[in-house]
Amino acid sequence: MTSPLRIALAGLGTVGSGVIRLVNENGAMIAQRAGRPIEIVAVTARDRNRDRGVDLSAYRWVDDMNDLATDPEVDCVVEMIGGSDGPAYNLTRNSLLHGKSVVTANKAMIAHHGMELAGLAEDQNIALKYEAAVAGGIPVIKGLRDGASANRIERVYGILNGTCNYILTTMEQHGTDFEAVLKDAQELGYAEADPSFDIDGVDAAHKLAILAALSFGTAVNFDAVDVAGIRNIMAADIGQAKALGYRIRLLGMARLDGGKLFQRVNPYLVPENHPLAHIDGSTNAVVAEGNFSGRLMFQGAGAGDGPTASAVVADLIDIARGDSGTVFSMPAGEMTCSEPAESGNRTGKSYIRFIVADKPGVLAEITAAMRDADVSIESLIQTQKTAEGSVLISMVTHQSLERDVVASLDKLSDSSSLQGAPVVMHLLSDQD
């Protein structure tokens, strides 16, 4: 057996503890698969004295994590600190500059600095790996980079945030409204005390930007993702969607159209016969449609210490086996900077829901605004009274330009009849 791959863990939260448990429990098998042992030699975190439920006594404690970048006894740094900038970024950058491979679970850092860091790694012919950054334990980075590598990917999309999917599917099963389910999810530990990163779609957008870069060979462009979350979805919306044969899921969706990159995180109405309609609870799933493979789907746990550690250690096994290929599917220097696609040019059906005052003429006002913007209504699903005495109006448009839908709602923005902004969701189709 050849010399071990010596790793240092930076950050000892739940993922870090999971990696320690995994390496201890599966170590002998990992050595067989990797061709050499993977050995934790050093650890670092903010607070040395916190009880983490794992025994750290076998590992050298490093007070200043920056020392890891130059530590002669460390081959590979595992960054589990989190945050797009600051300590995580500095440690990753310095480690790569000093010729150490890095494995990270940090989606924000890759979404913001992936191109620069990939360039550094490739210049030195070392590895930067981030399987755990997208969809937790599901090996979707390897699935796209290696498994689907022969294909031009037509589009990549999926359920990228387990918290949102848990909330939406719980609302679906129990007919409960968003706020109540969120509160339960927080008590159960499925949602953070400050849940905005998840429920406003930012976390999914980080992951989507990474998937798009891998799939299309375009430079990571997180700032160009068009993001909306799930705060405004009501149990009534889910019921209406169901009556139409759809389930509501927060999707990340990316496609390259005529050289322009379309990236959106948004709740979609997913047809019941689409595999994503059956992804419930905190499960994640990623769909990639290749020009030869057809539709591939990868599903599994999108978070949790075990699944995330599984992804981190799979990256370490790759490195131990000697894989130090490109960080994305192709060299970072050859990835193109694509112009963002104009979402207004897209065509599709939309679900629109209004809350309006219960008074005569409101429906006429809404339908006139839509007619004037060239948006034609396929079905007005239902109007129903809310507990507060307002009226809820839901409709589905015919195939329309998205810009026309926006224009129709703009016309109504000053209307005294509308109570709050309307909610718009796209019906998932092969054109998305």
Distance in angstroms (rounded) separating the CA atoms of residues 272 and 278: 8
Taking residue 430's Cβ as centre, other Cβ atoms within 10 Å add up to: 7
331 vs 340, beta carbon nearer a copy of itself:
331
Could you tell me the smallest distance in angstroms from the CB atom of residue 424 to a copy of itself? Answer: 28
Could you tell me the smallest distance in angstroms from the CB atom of residue 423 to a copy of itself? Answer: 28
Helix axis angle, 235-243 relative to 162-174, nearest 10°? 70
Could you tell me the smallest distance in angstroms from the CB atom of residue 317 to a copy of itself? Answer: 5
107 vs 112, beta carbon nearer a copy of itself:
107
Could you tell me the smallest distance in angstroms from the CB atom of residue 405 to a copy of itself? Answer: 32
Closest-CA residue to 274 (of 261, 287, 255): 287
Question: Do the Cβ atoms of 203 and 303 come closer than 8 Å?
Answer: no
Tell how strand 391-397 and strand 350-356 pair up.
Answer: antiparallel
Query: Which burial class, exposed, middle or buried, applies to 16 when counting CB atoms under 10 A from its CB (0-12, 13-18, 19+)?
Result: buried
- Residue 320: which residues within 8 A CB-CB, separation 6 or more? 5, 34, 35, 36, 38
Distances (CA, A) of 261 to 117, 282, 316, 328: 22, 28, 32, 17
322 vs 420, beta carbon nearer a copy of itself:
322
Taking residue 117's Cβ as centre, other Cβ atoms within 10 Å add up to: 23
Question: Do the Cβ atoms of 113 and 206 come closer than 8 Å?
Answer: no
Could you tell me the smallest distance in angstroms from the CB atom of residue 136 to a copy of itself? Answer: 9
217 vs 229, beta carbon nearer a copy of itself:
217
Four-point Cα dihedral 210, 213, 214, 215, nearest 10: 120
Classify residue 258 by its DSSP letter: T
Distance in angstroms (rounded) separating the CA atoms of residues 211 and 258: 19
Question: Do the Cβ atoms of 354 and 232 come closer than 8 Å?
Answer: no
- Give DSSP secondary structure letters for 267-289: EEEEETTSGGGG--TTEEEEEEE
82 vs 306, beta carbon nearer a copy of itself:
306
Tell how strand 260-271 and strand 226-227 pair up.
Answer: parallel
Distance in angstroms (rounded) separating the CA atoms of residues 148 and 214: 10
Residue numbers of the site for a copy of itself (CB under 8 A)? 18, 22, 25-26, 29-30, 32-35, 131, 137-139, 142-143, 146-152, 217, 275, 278, 290-301, 304, 306-307, 309-314, 316-318, 321-323, 325-326, 329-331, 334
16 vs 217, beta carbon nearer a copy of itself:
217
77 vs 199, beta carbon nearer a copy of itself:
77
Q: Which of 207, 260, 349, 359 is catalytic?
A: 207
Could you tell me the smallest distance in angstroms from the CB atom of residue 348 to a copy of itself? Answer: 25
50 vs 321, beta carbon nearer a copy of itself:
321
Could you tell me the smallest distance in angstroms from the CB atom of residue 328 to a copy of itself? Answer: 9
* Residue 366, SS3 per DSSP: helix
Judge whether 207 counts as a catalytic residue. Answer: yes
Please tell me the number of Cα atoms within 13 Å of 408 on its side-chain side. Answer: 26
Could you tell me the smallest distance in angstroms from the CB atom of residue 142 to a copy of itself? Answer: 5
Distance in angstroms (rounded) separating the CA atoms of residues 242 and 252: 21
- The catalytic residues are 207
